[in-house]
Amino acid sequence: MNLVVAKTETGRALNDIFDVARDRLPGGGKVADARRQAFEVYERAGLPHRRIEDWKYTDLRALMREVLPPAATPDAATVKRAGSALKPHAIAGARRLVLVDGVFAPQLSDTGDFEQGLSVRTLREVLEAGDAALQAQLLSPASSDPMVALNSAMMTDGLVIEVADGTALKQPLHIVHIATAAHPVAMFTRSLLKLGKSAGATLVESYIGADGVKTYQVHDSLLLTVGDGARLDHVRLVEDGREAFNICAAVVTLGAHAHYNIFGMTSGGNLSRYHAVIAVAGEHSRVETSGVNLLNGRQHADTTLFLDHAVPNGTSREVFRAVVDDRGHSVFQGRIIVRPQAQKTDARMMTRALLLSDDAEADNKPELEIFADDVVCGHGATTGALDESLLFYLRARGLSEKEAQALLIQAFVGEAIEQIASDDLRGLAMSAAERWLAARS
């Protein structure tokens, strides 16, 4: 049988965009070849749709429809606009690393006096320098996932961060993605963080839009390697403009006795999707994942986690909360696989959704695949509305309806936010939640 794949106008347009953009994409030789192969993977599949199980609730063909052309290289005026947008999101004491429209902006970043044992380079620098080992690692996620493959083909810039063995960073690393374009464009970024043996670091990622920014797309991938005995605390805050599309992926690998703690909050954007694959590859390692979706209007946010216990004596915890108002749509897909050799695994997952209107929607799909017999595993999911008796109690004590709702919502998401190890970063996440609540009222 001969199978003919018909290209849509969007498919042809994206192929043209890739051909035009190739000259400005960093890396030649094997890197360029890998880009072409990754683009062919994407081209064969196209935008993911609901017939693909992992994308069942987030049909990009219907919701996003097309991939926009890459943003232009930022000029001085663009960087100035980005600087204004950055100020409310700056974190005191953190080392700021800023990407403006998908390109590293040294003018807005803290690039001096690095702590001993810390190395920071741009993705462009690494892809053009000929470091074969790092290039291979950066290009490795050219997988069958079409959006990861697209990111591999089109990645323009990002950060390559290495923390040496035994180094515990005192300053958090804050990667800030800022969109400024006044017309529809896309940003393609990829970053890598390698944490050496017995090292420690805190990573914060922020996604924001400058004032007046309209439709834009963020396509980002993050590769994390947590060495033996190392600890990484990771916070993601997605506060994009209301017309933005944010498609992010992460690949995390843990060594033995490693500890990875991640918290994510999505309160901005029109559509967002975060897909993380976390591999527990070393014994006696611990993963703690927690997250919150705060949605209203017609916002759509999808968190999809795949946790792979491949070795014995691993521990994982997943805590997820969603608060959905108006016609918002929250999606949580959590899949835990315990492989035959992963005896003594302790893995638990709980997701809860709070619906504030009759038209709000939350789809929760927790999954366990257990192929070992000496394990402790469990999962659960609930969906409900605000407790009317508690609302009455608070209103009887002088609070308005919105104030009473805000207190109950803060308490509801607080369990997830409490998973953040740092007091300062817990306060940062709560401030983001309070901004959402204030805008809602």
Domain with 208 in it: 9-282
Q: Give the pLDDT of residue 226.
A: 98
Within 10 angstroms of residue 35's Cβ, the number of other Cβ atoms is 24
Q: Is the pLDDT of residue 11 over 70?
A: no
Q: For 233-258, what is the mean pLDDT?
A: 96
Number of domains in the chain: 1
Q: Give the pLDDT of residue 422.
A: 84
Q: Is the pLDDT of residue 394 over 50?
A: yes
Q: Give the pLDDT of residue 8.
A: 44
Q: Quick: pLDDT tens for 141-194.
A: 656 789 999 999 999 999 999 999 999 999 999 999 999 988 899 999 999 999
Q: Quick: pLDDT tens for 36-95.
A: 999 989 988 899 999 999 999 999 999 999 999 999 999 999 999 999 999 888 898 999
Q: Provide the edge-to-edge strand list for the sheet that holds 231-239.
A: 103-104, 95-100, 173-179, 200-209, 231-239, 259-266, 286-295, 315-324, 346-355, 376-384
Residue 174 forms part of a structural domain: yes
Residue 404 forms part of a structural domain: no
Extract the tokens encoding 355. Answer: 């619906």
Residue 146 forms part of a structural domain: yes
Give the separation between CA 317 and CA 329, rounded to whole angstroms: 24
Q: Is the pLDDT of residue 4 over 50?
A: no
Q: Quick: pLDDT tens for 90-129.
A: 898 999 999 999 999 999 999 988 999 999 999 999 999 8
DSSP 240-292: --TTEEEEEEEEEEE-TT-EEEEEEEE-SSSEEEEEEEEEE-STT-EEEEEEE
Cut 0.85: pTM above it: yes
Beta bridge partners, 236, equal 205, 264
DSSP 404: H
Q: For 344-357, what is the mean pLDDT?
A: 95
Give the separation between CA 408 and CA 399, rounded to whole angstroms: 12
Q: Are 288 and 314 in contact (CB under 8 A)?
A: no
Q: Quick: pLDDT tens for 195-210.
A: 999 999 999 999 999 9
Residue 349 forms part of a structural domain: no
Residue 344 forms part of a structural domain: no
Residue 204 forms part of a structural domain: yes
Q: Give the pLDDT of residue 431.
A: 86
Q: Provide the mean pLDDT of the chain.
A: 91
Residue 269 forms part of a structural domain: yes
Quick one: what percent of the chain has pLDDT higher than 70?
96
Better pLDDT: 214 or 155? 155
Quick one: what percent of the chain has pLDDT higher than 90?
69
Residue 335 forms part of a structural domain: no
